[in-house]
A and B are shown apart, each in its own frame.
Chain A
């Protein structure tokens, strides 16, 4: 199994809603990532978890709250988002946090904030 599974695939939420994005992998990877990708732009790193601990936070606004409940799961909790937060949110994982480790990406969650 070399898949990173993200749910839901599409999400529309209002600015006052609270929602969560979910990411799951069963490859035994110990590093997991959240990226944000706007249309026709490259992915931008948001958060990195290594061995279930937050390793990198790229100065992401607090309306985005990551959580890594175990080594297979990564969540992104969303609250009070703005329309400009509409984007494709990509989860990725790699064996460990190492420059030579391949990152496997999920299909993404396309988020629209209305």
Chain B
């Protein structure tokens, strides 16, 4: 079946540190891949996406590359800020006809000043 696996958190970093949050997926067909961010008490915001292999999504200094050979979509940022503290969800959108969004379990990021 389709699934998304994320690294367990919480991840605690100092301001200006490099961030990597790992995400791997299992899917039939060619899914689209997304990263969503959820700030405390709020809904989800789309951070970036990639719709085919080798595509790189980027937004607000965050990047992720769709790697079909390793079935991965790791999130990276070169220099995190305190305001990046949130929960990050990796997700895929299936192509099997039902077009569901399937989310990983989320990774909580805490950035310290």
Contact = CB atoms under 8 A, between A and B. Distances in A.
B46 A104 contact: yes
Contacts of A105: 36, 43-45
Contact of A102 (B46, B95, B99, B103): B46
Given A42-B105, A45-B100, A56-B100, A99 B32 contact: yes
Contact of A98 (B99, B103, B104): B99
Interface string A86-114: 00001010000111111111111000000
Interface in B9-51: 31-32, 34, 36, 42-46, 49, 51
Contacts of A56: 98, 100
A101 B100 CA distance: 11
A99 B46 contact: no
A45 B101 contact: yes
